[in-house]
Amino acid sequence: MVTGESLVVLDPDGRRDDEVWGMIVDSDKMAAALAAVAEVQDGMLVGLGTGSTAAFAIRRLGERVAQGLSIRAVATSAASEALGRELGIVIVDFAGVSRVDLTIDGADEIDSRLFAIKGAGGAMLREKIVAASSARMIVIADGSKQVDRIGAAKLPVEILPFAQAYVLALLAEMGGAPVVRANYRTDQGNLVADCRFPTLGDPQALATTIAAIPGVLGHGLFLDEVDAAYVATNGLVTRLERPDASA
C-alpha cells in the first residue's frame, strides 16, 4: 500500500519558496488553460481573454493553429491581441462582430455560483463585452482564485476621466473606498478605481447600482456571463458548469 503526505515547499529558512510556488501555480494555470482550449473547434470565432492565465490559453491556441486548427479570434486587450498575432492567430476587429462562439478568460475570484470578479489587469470592460457576446464563456483559474463567495478581491471600476471626481465621491459614499490606479489608463484611455466594499452580500444589487452611475463605463463583477470554469489545483482540473436554465 502506498501512503502519501502533503509537503510544503520551504526554503532553507523555513519560508515558503516563492519561486517553486510560482511554478506550481503556473502549471495549474496552464492545466486549466489546456482543458478549456480542448473545447475549441475548427471554424470557431474565439474570444481571447487577458492576463497571465489567459496567456497560457492563447499560447496553447497558437500551438493548435500551427498544427492546422482553423479559427479566428477577437481580443479583450491590446496585449492579448499582440500575443495572438505573434502566434499566428487571425485576429479580427471586434467592432464588426456581434457573436463570438467561445471565450476563454481568467478571473481574480470565482465561486460555485460562477460569479466572478475580474479586472486586476484592467481589461474588464472589453472582457465583459466579449463575454456577453459569447455563446459560451469559460473562466480558467488556478485554485487560489476559487472562493466560497466572491468579495475579497478588489473590485475594479472603469471611469471616464471627465467624471472622475463625481464617480469617486459616489463610490466612496457607497462604502467602496475607491483607490485610483496611479499612472494607469485602460486600453480605452480611461481610469480604474479599485474598490473594497465591506460586504458583497447582494452582488446583483451592487452591480446594478455601480453600472447606473453616469461616468462609470464598466466594472469587474461578472454575475451572468460565465458559463463554465476550469479550476486547477495541484494539477487536478475541476470543471464547474452553470446549470442549463432552459432544461
**Rule CB under 6 A: which residues touch ligand 5RP?**
49-54, 105-108, 118-124, 127
Query: What CA–CA distance (Å, rounded) separates 60 from 63?
Result: 5
Q: Do 60 and 43 form a contact (C-beta atoms < 8 A)?
A: no
Catalytic residue, from 81, 109, 127, 158: name it.
127
Query: What CA–CA distance (Å, rounded) separates 195 from 179?
Result: 6
Q: Measured from the CB atom, is 27 or 42 closer to ligand 5RP?
A: 27
Least Å from the CB of residue 121 to ligand 5RP: 3
Q: Measured from the CB atom, is 56 or 170 closer to ligand 5RP?
A: 56
The three cell numbers locating residue 23: 511554478
Least Å from the CB of residue 141 to ligand 5RP: 7
CB atoms within 10 A of CB 231: 23
Radius of gyration of the chain, Cα coordinates, nearest whole angstrom? 19
Q: Is 127 a catalytic residue?
A: yes
The three cell numbers locating residue 150: 466572491
Least Å from the CB of residue 25 to ligand 5RP: 9
Q: Measured from the CB atom, is 108 or 194 closer to ligand 5RP?
A: 108
The three cell numbers locating residue 174: 457607497
Catalytically active residues, by annotation? 127
